Amino acid sequence: MTTAGSSEINVTPLIDVLLVLLIIFLVMMPIMLRQETVELPPHNRDVISEATPISIKLDADLSIKIDDGPTFANGELAGRLRPLLHKDQPVFVDCADGVPWNEVIATVDTVRGVGGSLDGGVHVAVRLRDE
């Protein structure tokens, strides 16, 4: 009897490959399932009321407003922002559609520079607004 005309498939190499893949997955599962612990901030009403967010609006003509206050020039931002900032306070930089990106980054850097003197610093986020 010859096997040259046999139509049966040899499944031994297929089973060998499946067993090797099974071993690889069994070894990799504990590595992939490592857990990272995340520390959430404490829920304290005093801290929440103290850290109200400040909104800095940067218009297309590069004028700035803090919390819907009066409009002023970009160079006055550090002086006007310093008395308003507290430790761990969120600051949103709202920029209009036509503001160059380097001016947005310069404003964020100014806020971080003013907040860098505080113990916890400030948290800065950029929001784009359509007008």
Q: What is the extent of the structural domain holding 96?
A: 45-128
Residue 108 in any domain: the answer is yes
pLDDT band for position 3 (cuts 50, 70, 90): low
Alpha carbon of residue 33 to chain centroid: 24
Number of separate domains in the chain: 1
Residue 106: HSE in the Cβ half-sphere, 13 Å Cα cutoff? 12
Does residue 40 sit within a domain? no
pLDDT of residue 22: 95
- In a domain? residue 116: yes
Which residues neighbour 66 within 8 Å (Cβ) at sequence distance 6 or greater?
Answer: 54, 55, 56, 57, 80, 81, 84
What tens digit of pLDDT does each residue of 57-72 get? 988 888 899 888 888 8
> Quick check: pTM over 0.75?
no
Q: Considering the domain boundaries, does residue 83 fall inside one? A: yes
Residue 8: inside a domain? no
What CATH number did the domain enclosing 71 receive? 3.30.420
Residue 6 belongs to a domain? no
Indicate the range of 4-8, 45-49, 67-71, 102-106 predicted with least confidence: 45-49
In the predicted model, what is the mean pLDDT of residues 7-15?
88
Asked, for residue 87, whether it belongs to a domain, the answer is: yes
Asked whether residue 109 is domain-assigned, the answer is: yes
